[in-house]
A and B are shown apart, each in its own frame.
Chain A
Amino acid sequence: MYNVDLIIIGAGPAGMSAARRAAELGISVLILDEQPVAGGQIYRNVDRASAVRSDILGKEYTHGLALTKGLHHDNITLLKGAVVWQIEEGTRVAFTQNGTGALAVGKRILLATGALERPMPLSGWTLPGVMTAGAAQILLKQSGIACQGAVLVGSGPLLYLIATQMVRAGVPPLALIETQTTRDLLRSMRHLGGALRGWPYLVKGLRMLWELRRAGIPRHVGATGITIEGDQAAQAISFYIGKSAHRIECDTVLLHHGVIPNTQAARSIDIPHLWDAAQNCFVPECDAWGRSAVATVFIAGDGAGIGGAKAAAFAGEIAALEIAHDLEGISRPDRDAAARKLRKHLAIECAARPFIDAAYPPYAGAIAPQDATIICRCEEVTAGDIRRFAGLGCLGPNQAKAFGRSGMGPCQGRYCGLSVSQILATANNISLDDTGYYRIRPPLKPVTMGELAAMAASEINEVKE
């Protein structure tokens, strides 16, 4: 059993910078991540990959080296490959590492579990050969595996980033099928003034578009009616631009239309969430320090609302200051002075967000999918099924589970929860806040009897000692 001041779940930019700041203030930190190396999604495998693939992955990526280095501190214990599956009483964390369950107790807990890619249910999206664009990027960062002849589908800066990384890796995508429209771009213009404060992001965006153009990657913008064809695996993708029909043969389709907070851990301890209309997702309710309704539990990074990697790092530090203040590691004036600086940086980081969110909204055809499209990948429940449940009086996602098992498979609704809430809200004409989301119950990830038995044995030994 581990006994520390602060348990951090997630070793991405938010978790890593929080760990360092807290450790420097004399707080003992245990940081857990289910991945085999620290880094989180953006800096995945940065220690190893930046040496051999920095030219492909870019400067933004190698930036993460400073954060992983920061974890080398006497007050920080990093456990890799540690899958957290339960949080109790706001102070106890159960996890599995190397097939053995273990417990950690902390005075405070910081959830830094990051984001997931927004589910993009399209006809054919369950076929082998269809992955998220993030999955292709993970293969590249983590394993140096490149994917030839892929088509990228969706919208947003991350889609462009992954496309340029594929170009540099020598496997340019066949095409980009982009779902944002000129109308979205016009609508985003009213946020342009604010976005200029975050001008480096705008410059970066333009540079990526220039790089794709130079590489001769066809971009089909304003696509609708997107369908992935295939029987046993993806074979082609068809779509419309205006009234003209297009079809591209390909065996790999990479989907991406933004990221959403991964709220599983927060929801499992009943932290309230609110609908964020600008970001089109639920976000946990927290105060300006990241403290949740469970007073000992804080949330920082993209898991608290999408802001990107640098914003995540600043938010992690801000939470660490308040946690240190709780535990008498820093005085109130010192906390406030340090936080003031961080908040200024955070505001600049977030300045371009409203513009990006408006210019690259989620694909409408995946927010309101056709009846035959599978929504719940695990239990193979379709959009039509969910609408039928609504017709039978189903008001919320938890009832939908009883009607047709949606959200009851091993992924626990991670890739259908948002879709089910949105389809029900539209069908019943009630708000997303009133429709709500799946109730998440532990374990957050399936645990085996063997892992529990090993845990029980080690806890008993500890009591004997």
Chain B
Amino acid sequence: MKTDSPFREIDPQSDHVLVRFEEEDLMLPLGENLAGALLVAGVMPFRHTPVSGAPRGPFCMMGACYDCLVLIDGMTVQACMLQVAEGMKVGMPSADRVHDV
């Protein structure tokens, strides 16, 4: 799941915290946009689609496409609309349909 990332921080931040993505421990910049921080850490894909199981990652970074969905505290949420917090546990949403209320 971890790859050599083409993304990098221009002026790296010093304050990093432990975040778990699936089975992997990552040190991510505190308060940084979660999708961005995961991209820099080489996480890809973020999820697999419920229809065909195809891999997906962030596409719009502005909360519109829902391709960056991840699982946090049992809820599917947009990684591009969240900030990195200490001890976050992030998973891939299960391949079941994403239920909207």
| Interface residues, chain A, with chain B CB atoms under 8 Å away | 34-36, 41, 52-53, 56, 83, 116-117, 126-132, 134-136, 138-139, 142-150, 169-170, 232-233, 251-252, 262, 377-380, 409-411, 414-415, 443, 445-449, 452
Contacts and interface: CB of A to CB of B under 8 A. Distances in A.
Contacts of B8: 145-146, 148
Contacts of A443: 100-101
A448 B56 CA distance: 23
Contacts of B56: 126, 128
A138 B36 CA distance: 10
Interface in B53-80: 54-67, 69, 75
Nearest to B57: A128
B15 interface: no
Contact of B65 (A138, A232, A262, A414): A414
A449 B59 CA distance: 27
B51 A148 contact: no
Interface of B: 3, 6-11, 32-33, 36-37, 39-40, 44-46, 49, 51-52, 54-67, 69, 75, 81, 83, 98, 100-101
A452 B67 CA distance: 24
Q: From DSSP, what is the main secondary structure of chain B's interface residues?
A: loop
A411 B54 contact: no
A144 B52 contact: no
A144 B55 contact: no
Given A131-B58, A377-B59, A452-B101, A146 B10 contact: yes
B28 to A, nearest CB: 11
Contacts of B101: 443, 446-449, 452
B10 A53 contact: yes
A288 to B, nearest CB: 29
A411 B65 contact: yes
A4 to B, nearest CB: 24
A232 B48 CA distance: 11
A128 B44 CA distance: 7
Given A128-B45, A446-B101, A144 B62 contact: no
Residue picked from A83, A128, A142, A380, most chain B C-beta under 10 Å = A128
Contacts of A131: 57-61
Given A144-B9, A169-B10, A233-B44, A415 B61 contact: no
A135 B100 contact: no
B62 A41 contact: yes
B66 A143 contact: no
Nearest to B46: A128
Contact of A446 (B60, B67, B100): B100
B9 A145 contact: yes
Contacts of B60: 116-117, 131-132, 134-135, 415
Residue picked from B9, B44, B57, B98, most chain A C-beta under 10 Å = B57
Given A132-B59, A415-B60, A445-B63, 11 more contacts: A56-B10, A126-B54, A128-B56, A131-B57, A134-B61, A143-B33, A380-B51, A411-B65, A414-B64, A415-B59, A447-B101
Nearest to A138: B61
A450 to B, nearest CB: 8
A316 B75 CA distance: 37
A171 to B, nearest CB: 8
Nearest to B32: A143
B22 to A, nearest CB: 15
12 contacts: A34-B81, A128-B44, A129-B57, A131-B58, A139-B36, A143-B9, A143-B33, A150-B6, A409-B98, A410-B66, A445-B63, A448-B101
Given A134-B61, A135-B58, A148 B10 contact: no
Nearest to A34: B63
Nearest to B66: A410
A141 to B, nearest CB: 10
Contacts of B65: 377, 411, 414-415
A368 B57 CA distance: 25
Contacts of A56: 10
Contact of A415 (B9, B37, B64): B64
Residue picked from B9, B45, B59, B67, most chain A C-beta under 10 Å = B59
Nearest to A451: B101
